[in-house]
Amino acid sequence: MSEQHKGLGRKTAELAVATLFTSFMVWSQLLFLALFIYVPLLRVPMVLYVGFKVLDPAVENGRGRPFKKWIRTLGVWQYLASYFSCSVSIEEDIDPNSQYVYGYHPHGILSYGAQIFGCYSMELFNKMNGDHLYPVALPVALRLPIFGDYLMALGAVSCSKACIRRVLGNKKNSIAVVIGGAQESLHGEPGKPELILDKRKGFVREAIMAGAYLCPIYVFGETGIYRQVRCSPGSFLYKIECWVQWYFSFAAPLFYGRFLLVPFRAKLHFVRGKVVHVKHNPNPTRQEVEYYHELYKEELVRLYNKYRYKYEPYPHADLKFAE
């Protein structure tokens, strides 16, 4: 087979994997509901499964499920990383004997990059003591059928205070937090980098209490994977978005890609900044939290400004922070 045909086959495989990956994230819950409605024989085990998910202690126990290394080594991650031409820049090596609270920015529509960097083929993961790195997510997301189990198989645990403190109670462990959360997906779009950070200070408090260092990660290109459908205030679709955000505590923006669900082939570049050294205090004051939060924000802005002309598709757009 010629190199041209091999290259075409590879690109086709990457496209198929990216499309199926998105379809799984978007349609898994609808598939579960459809099976419940149209396959009566599955209803009893499915009800039992949902009951287990509601009561699953692994969501909040600070250990999650035992890491499924086979999931992190699946070939699907290599195809996704190749589809988005993923690359990594690391400004400062970490101390493997220290704890870290990594802030991940931006969320994007489906937070593609946050999932890709958790695989063993990513240089960033391997240089973050990945086997002891716990991504944190909303408890409601972790308790969803199918998708919640997928997140937990990647090592995710609840973002509640109690769970984070259990994780960081083991000095070998670190956490990764998508600071802006799903709400940030309503803000980010190509050419308008906007983060939710100013009122998100809990991660700083937990870092001080644990004596963990802070370190920002910025992913250029994340907001270019999909385009958001902007709904005018007062419209029916806008009211649905607001209802979902209020009722489920997370945002669900309407979005589209190539041929609806196929993600745009945006280039993702992961940049890990310098460490913000934090002084341990089990009872931090508001002033301490504000101080380290400001240091973290300054490092994040510096990181963006340093690399935007190299990796940002719209480099003249300044980084902004939403209320």
Q: pLDDT by residue (tens digit) across 192-233?
A: 899 999 999 999 999 999 999 999 999 999 999 998 877 666
Q: What is the pLDDT of residue 305?
A: 96
Query: Are 116 and 122 within 8 A, CB to CB?
Result: yes
Of residues 134, 158, 163, 116, the one with CA closest to residue 267: 116
Q: pLDDT by residue (tens digit) across 26-60?
A: 888 889 999 999 999 999 999 999 999 999 999 99
Q: pLDDT by residue (tens digit) across 293-322?
A: 999 999 999 999 999 999 998 888 899 998
Query: Are 36 and 46 within 8 A, CB to CB?
Result: yes
Residue 130 corresponds to which tokens in the numbers above? 């990945």
Report DSSP letters for 106-131, one per residue: --TTT-HHHHHTTSTT-HHHHTTTGG
CA–CA gap between residue 318 and residue 315 (Å, rounded): 8
**What's the first-to-final CA gap in the chain, in angstroms?**
55
Would the pLDDT of 121 be above 80? Answer: no
Confidence of residue 85 (pLDDT cuts 50, 70, 90): very high
Half-sphere exposure in the Cβ direction for 34 (13 Å, CA) = 5
Q: Amino acid identity, residue 281?
A: N
Q: What is the pLDDT of residue 216?
A: 97
CA–CA gap between residue 112 and residue 18 (Å, rounded): 10
This prediction has a pTM of 0.91
Confidence of residue 247 (pLDDT cuts 50, 70, 90): low
What value does the mean pLDDT of the chain take? Answer: 88
CA–CA gap between residue 219 and residue 107 (Å, rounded): 9
Q: At what angle do helices 3-38 and 75-83 cross, to 10 degrees?
A: 110
Q: What is the pLDDT of residue 233?
A: 66
Question: H or E stretch including 76?
Answer: helix 75-83
7 burial type by CB count under 10 A (0-12 exposed, 13-18 middle, 19+ buried):
exposed
Percent of the chain whose pLDDT exceeds 90: 55
